[in-house]
Amino acid sequence: MDLDMTDARTRTRIGIGVVALQWLLLTFALGVMIIYTDQSLNGLIGLHLDSGYAFVGATIIGFLMGATVERTKALVPMVALCCLGGSAVYVALLFFPVWTGKLVQTVGLENFASTRALLYFGLSIVPVSLGAMTGRLVGSLVPGGDLLRRRRDDARDNWWLARSEAKDGKRETIETR
């Protein structure tokens, strides 16, 4: 497939795809971190994380999200959905043995899962939001620039484009930009 990176629509599509993939990965990672922090699973799944590490981890996850998504209007629901998704991953773990037929689904399990999910949603939204805000503010300072923007600028700087645009009387506009 030949991608035309000078096309704004293509860039937007790629950007949305990358952000969606990033959201999925970070949400799952947050859920896994919740699982390894949970006291009731201590000793059952091997490794156990202290809540301090989880707080730092959740802040980093938020930072990565905030550094990518520049629009606050998009970032806020993404952060909320990430925390919700993280809690959902934890609930999925609790119900996994039910789905594999090893445990019976009881009201006690449902109540436990729902209260814990609410708790972890509330607990994770604070560090993830803090990280996201920090990422939103200082994300542009991270070295490496913007992959999509750089490609667009490279394309703009190509001499044939510049010449063709100059021919069309747009050269001045490009130079003064």
Partner 1 sequence: MRINPVILAATMLVGIFGIVFGVRAFTTYDDASEAFTRVELQYIPDSFKWQDPEYDQAVASFRVVNGSSFRADVEGFSVSLRFDGEFAGTDYDIWPGLIVPGNESREFQMQFSVTTNSIQDQGGTADLSFTGQMLVRFEEFEQPLSFRFRGGMGKVPYDGS
Rule CB under 8 A: choose which of 2, 9, 39, 47 binds partner 1.
47
One-character DSSP codes across 22-60? HHHHHHHHHHHHHHHH-GGGTTTSS----HHHHHHHHHH
* Count of Cβ atoms closer than 10 Å to residue 35 Cβ: 19
One-character DSSP codes across 112-146? HHHHHHHHHHHHHHHHHHHHHHHHHHHGGGSTT--
Using rule CB under 8 A, residue 79 touches partner 1: no
Rule CB under 8 A: choose which of 18, 118, 138, 174 binds partner 1.
18
Rule CB under 8 A: choose which of 1, 52, 73, 100 binds partner 1.
100
How many whole angstroms separate alpha carbon 33 and alpha carbon 41? Answer: 12
Task: Choose the stretch contacting partner 1; rule: CB under 8 A; options: 24-32, 121-129, 152-160, 162-170.
Answer: 24-32
* Count of Cβ atoms closer than 10 Å to residue 146 Cβ: 13
Rule CB under 8 A: choose which of 4, 97, 115, 163 binds partner 1.
97
Using rule CB under 8 A, residue 75 touches partner 1: no
Roughly how many angstroms between the first and final C-alpha of the chain, as a whole number?
A: 32
Using rule CB under 8 A, residue 115 touches partner 1: no
Task: Choose the stretch contacting partner 1; rule: CB under 8 A; options: 2-10, 12-20, 115-123, 167-175.
Answer: 12-20
What is the number of residues in the chain? 177
Using rule CB under 8 A, residue 81 touches partner 1: no
Residues that bind partner 1 (CB under 8 A): 12, 14-16, 18-19, 22, 24-26, 28-33, 35-36, 41-47, 60-61, 64, 67-70, 89, 93, 96-97, 100, 102-103, 139-140, 142-149
